[in-house]
Structure 1
Amino acid sequence: MHINRRHFVSGTVGSGAALALVGWMPAWAQPVSSGIVAPLPTVSGSDISLRIARQTMRVDGKVSRAIGINGTVPAPLIRLREGQNVRLSVTNDLDEDSSIHWHGLILPFQMDGVPGVSFPGIKPRSTFVYEFPVVQSGTYWYHSHSGLQEQLGHYGPIVIDPKGPDPVGYDREHIVVLSDHSELSPEAIFRKLKVNPGHFNMQRQTLGGLLAGKDQPLKDRLEWGAMRMDPTDVADVNGSTYNFLVNGYGPKDNWTALFEPGERVRLRIINAAAMTIFNVRIPGLRMTIVQADGLNVRPVTVDEFQMGVAETYDVIVTPTDDRAYTLVAEANDRSGLGRATLAPRAGMAAEVPPLRERPLATMKDMGMGDMDMSAGGAMEGMDPSSAGAAPAPDCPPEHAKMGHCTPADAAAAPADHSAMGHGAAGMSHSMRDFSVAPQVKRDPSVQTISPMPVDRMGEPGQGLENAGHKVLTYHDLVALDKNPDVRAPERSLDIHLTGNMERFMWSFDGIKMSDYHEPIPFLEGERVRINLINDSMMSHPIHLHGHFFELVTGKGDHAPRKHTVLVQPGGKASFDFTADALGDWAFHCHLLYHMHAGMMRVVSVRPRGEAA
């Protein structure tokens, strides 16, 4: 066989260069392993022992520091049955206090696991015993509520099987825990965010993007610059420092879930990330949503869904072909993705789609409604619901004096928005007009007040407006069973999600957790409508401990019930809830560093007859 020497040399050089370039590719685009088929370790029964300790973990071949439970990240799957009693003995082997919060579980507040709110925490080298009845079924999870431990791997899944027949039929199930992991310590990440909140954003607009027509026109760019806003500021921490994991494995590890063609496969998907909102899809395979936040919903078939931190979704897929499929969990700012494989055999892999174009914030994301910045003229569609009405007669005094409560059906008068000229020609509008939010503290921590917040629960999520296929919205969710409480709310409570993105300051109503003096009070059995008004340009997954609430999406007595709701930038989300769990409960943004910076309060449910 004759070999041309020049061709041989150039071929080997080309191969070597290609191999060298592989190291520069993002993890999700690099060659994968033969596939890791590893179910999560499981603990079950009425007596369960858990041990929290420092360890290392290996992600895509690299070793980094972690905190695990029983030696694993994620922590073991806790499998329970509705109707049983469970006793969980948790030993803290760390040199610092720790805790476990049972996310989404209905239990006595003393067992909820939030240091300083419901219990003192678990001291180093000590054991705390959680004990409670299991009164529900579904997919949930657990995690630390101490410091920034959750970022290091202190999280795990919970599955509670129903005591009766499961309305969801399936042949096989897989637990899918999504998370984010960095070799940087969480303390270092938080310091960098405080010094420069845009530190991790490597996707800013460039001259090249302008010339190529991929970024905003120069005029719009100048408008955003005048407002000191960055339309690429979608995620605080992203793929520039994060690896995105599936069940603790990176994209190159290729965690694999097996199936037999034709089977109904149930995927219990949990977003246990610290900071990442994921867009989840399986190219070539439609997903039928059957459960949201642990509660059954009427089946709805979609191609993709956006998943806020701390949300869970159960989906049914029915792959009929003898081939592999890629489960894609793409960060909402498109800076990276986690991947897993669904396949009939180990060692298979499917194509991983390239990252889609990163989203740019719009005027709607700034709380300007549907107004086009370049259009000019008067604003339309002003949402007046957060100003002007008299307080409800049964509004707690501390809220009434802050202008916090309005009758649930009150129509408020529009506020004066002529405080400052802003943006396009002819537009007179202020983004710091506190008259639309009288309860918000005037403070440097409040950078903007959304002038025209609109209900965005019927939208698919930032960056998914033109996905080209069916994307889930909250309006698609309908509870399978009738809601347990269908009373109309007695009063309405507006809560503003506030922040200063330039200083990485986050709060509710301009008051961060360390500065508040009184909890938000409710009376036992009270029915209240909560209006969450996002005054920032970032999405916030808001979680209420100890309760489920009904999203106000026009579904009547079958409104979807959840424990976490993702509030879109510049938008509103409303829910009705019944204060049926006595005690003190945490209420916070589930973006870890937002909560750590102050976006957290305490909700106190008091017996009727007790002084407010």
Structure 2
Amino acid sequence: MITSRRKFLAGSGLLAASGLAVPAWARGQSLTHARNGFGEVSGEVIDLSIRDHHFSTGGRSGHAFAVNGTVPGPLIRLREGQDVTLNVTNHLSEDSSIHWHGLLLPFQFDGVPGISFPGIAPGETFQYRFPIRQNGTYWWHSHSGLQEQAGHYGPLVIDAAEPDPRYDRDYVVLLSEFTPRHPHDIARLLATGEHYFNRQMQTVTDGAMSMEDRLMWGAMRMNPRDIADVTGATYTYLINGHGPADDLEFAFEPGERIRLRIINGSAMSFFNVRIPGVPMTVIAADGQYVDDVEVDEFQIGTAETYDVIVTPPAGAHALVAEAMDRSGMGIASLSSRPGQRATPPALRETPTLTMVDMGMGGMDHGGMDHSAMGHAMPAQDTPAQDMPAMEHSMRDTSLLPASVEVNAGVDMVSAMPMDRMDFPGLGLDNVPHRVLRYTDLKAKRANPHRMPERQLEIHLTGNMERYMWSFDGKQFSAVTDDPIRFGYDERVRVKLVNDTMMAHPIHLHGHFFELVNGAGMMNQPLKHTVVVQPGSTATFDLTANEPGDWAFHCHLLYHMHAGMMQTVTVRPFPVDGE
């Protein structure tokens, strides 16, 4: 609220009178225009500079935070086994930071203000120094305020010590979005009305819904198209900082095997990624190698990464990142002939939620099996106010365990949550081609065999109308002194229960965990982010072997901002030599 108020005062001229610093962009002065796309930096010492800039794509133009003059910021390319020093200078009039998403490092260099370091004050330089202990595809972004939404993010690739002979060409594909709206304005409007940016909501007169379904959804005070909080009505979807009108092109020679390092660096968007007519072989998830899986499409949650290898035939092929709610897409061309552009497919029909997404676990996603709800549905002419069974099943807080704090921020309860690791993502469960599922992923290298020593259950909770989000009913501001505690090297099975009707990409800093996805224990895939589907559960095994204090949060930026975040503390620190 302080940041938001300062922006307001700056716009009205009162901030200058108060004696506080006024950003150049707030004073209406001309700003350097950030370049679309990004360059590359590498080496043992890397300098990064954060400044206010102006950014344009398509018909949208507005303020941005740029790093080294670009949106997104530069590709940081490192090599496994090196040591790196990153000097980050903050030229903004507000605090800033950089978090190295997915990297294993000492916690004091993780880059989360208030948890692992104080942040980078205006005019100051912070020096991050750590060894590179891994390889793969990752990214970096601000963890201060809502700066990530406005351009403060970029890709990070760590080349393996041993070259991978499976590909001939290597491209980074960074998915994101741009809006000229100020991020705090978006947060305010979401708190005013969670449907503010949704132009695809179904109404009581929508012919696609039966009377029975309309009564059912009305009784729950929910809408089956409440899929994305911020949509293509506000966002321009980007690939490597380029909007659809920019005709971004990735060149190749026929017969080449191309590695695409696909990063979802967006603030709020899930994407369905495909190259129509060209199969993709998934080789890595969140930077960690998995057994090869050939698919035609996959859904990538916010903050996830997938590496795929493609061998496209000669010609131009559309690389499409369609928003999950199908309100827009990022577009590029894979082309064997310079200047040849592929024609992208049309946007597909908007998907809708069903009772499975409401935590009514016995139902087929393609239709409502009312008998599985544990009560009979009323006749179609029964008024919505006479539907106590449905209201009870969605809002009966007595179903929640004692660990969940029931308060005004909790208005949804999954009555029958079920594991949905085999669900490919909303809108992809009925397409005619192959779609990636978490159950397809198997670690390429065997994990140590070690049984969990205890189990922990965490509920993802929220009140959509008030735009309040939390873990176990507790918002981050209320739990800063009550972290989730793990003993050093403790092995814990963590079950996440999503009591809300939205998918949440949950990210743990400083660690990789193993998805309990049906693979053998030694082949459970390693990830740092897991999408927990609406009304469902997701389980992972964690070996807490990185000591320190770490952030644990939903990676939908405005959900984290609204409270769905916690601190994980791993203690004690190991004694030297142990």
TM-score exceeds 0.5: yes
How big is each residue's C-alpha offset from its partner over 1:272-324, in whole Å with a ceiling of 9 and x where there is no partner?
A: 0000011101111110001110011111100000000000001100012x210
Selected match of 1:588 from 553, 560, 564: 553
* Cα deviation, residue 435, structure 1: 3.6
- Provide the aligned C-alpha RMSD in A: 1.9
The aligned amino acid for 1:44 is: S
Q: How does 1:264-343 map to 2 (within 5 A)?
A: 264-320=257-313, 322-343=314-335
Q: Does 1:359 align with 2:351?
A: yes
Q: For residues 80 and 421 of structure 1, do their structure 2 counterparts lie closer, same or farther at Cα, with a shift above 3 Å needed? A: same
* Cα deviation, residue 467, structure 1: 1.1
Q: Percent identity?
A: 58
Q: Does 1:253 align with 2:220?
A: no
* Cα deviation, residue 592, structure 1: 0.2
Q: Does 1:575 align with 2:540?
A: yes
SS of equivalent to 1:494: strand
SS of equivalent to 1:422: helix
Q: Does 1:368 align with 2:360?
A: yes
Selected match of 2:449 from 486, 500, 507: 486
Higher-Rg member (1/2): 1
* TM-score normalised over the length of structure 2: 0.88
The aligned amino acid for 1:93 is: H
The aligned amino acid for 2:464 is: M
Selected match of 2:79 from 72, 78, 81: 81
The aligned amino acid for 2:472 is: D
- 1:61 and 1:272 map into 2 onto residues whose CA distance is 22
Unaligned runs of 5+ in 1: 1-36, 382-419
The aligned amino acid for 2:474 is: I
Q: How does 1:384-395 map to 2 (within 5 A)?
A: none
- 2:573 and 2:557 map into 1 onto residues whose CA distance is 34
How big is each residue's C-alpha offset from its partner over 1:101-131, in whole Å with a ceiling of 9 and x where there is no partner?
A: 0000000000000000000000000000000
Q: Does 1:124 align with 2:116?
A: no
Selected match of 2:234 from 234, 241, 254: 241
* Cα deviation, residue 57, structure 1: 1.6
The aligned amino acid for 1:171 is: D
SS of equivalent to 1:244: strand
Q: For residues 435 and 204 of structure 1, do their structure 2 counterparts lie closer, same or farther at Cα, with a shift above 3 Å needed? A: closer
Contact 1:371/1:380 (CA < 8 Å) preserved in 2? no
Which residue number corresponds to residue 97 of structure 2? 99
The aligned amino acid for 1:77 is: L
The aligned amino acid for 1:486 is: H
SS of equivalent to 1:260: coil
- 1:220 and 1:61 map into 2 onto residues whose CA distance is 39
Which residue number corresponds to residue 496 of structure 1? 459
- 1:207 and 1:554 map into 2 onto residues whose CA distance is 41
Q: How does 1:145-184 map to 2 (within 5 A)?
A: 145-166=143-164, 169-184=166-181
Selected match of 1:422 from 377, 389, 401: 389
Which residue number corresponds to residue 108 of structure 1? 106
SS of equivalent to 1:252: helix
Selected match of 1:458 from 416, 419, 422: 422
The aligned amino acid for 2:488 is: E
- 1:579 and 1:257 map into 2 onto residues whose CA distance is 40
Q: Does 1:224 align with 2:217?
A: yes
Contact 1:523/1:608 (CA < 8 Å) preserved in 2? no
The aligned amino acid for 1:60 is: G
* Cα deviation, residue 463, structure 1: 1.4
SS of equivalent to 2:477: helix
Which residue number corresponds to residue 486 of structure 2? 522
- 2:255 and 2:247 map into 1 onto residues whose CA distance is 23
Contact 1:171/1:264 (CA < 8 Å) preserved in 2? yes
Contact 2:248/2:333 (CA < 8 Å) preserved in 1? yes
Contact 2:60/2:180 (CA < 8 Å) preserved in 1? no
* Cα deviation, residue 457, structure 1: 0.8
SS of equivalent to 1:326: strand
| Alignment length (residue pairs) | 526
Unaligned runs of 5+ in 2: 1-34, 376-386
Which residue number corresponds to residue 11 of structure 1? none
- 1:198 and 1:58 map into 2 onto residues whose CA distance is 26
- 2:394 and 2:192 map into 1 onto residues whose CA distance is 27
- 2:513 and 2:262 map into 1 onto residues whose CA distance is 21
Q: Does 1:511 align with 2:503?
A: no
Selected match of 1:564 from 506, 521, 529: 529
* Cα deviation, residue 431, structure 1: 3.1
- 1:295 and 1:325 map into 2 onto residues whose CA distance is 27
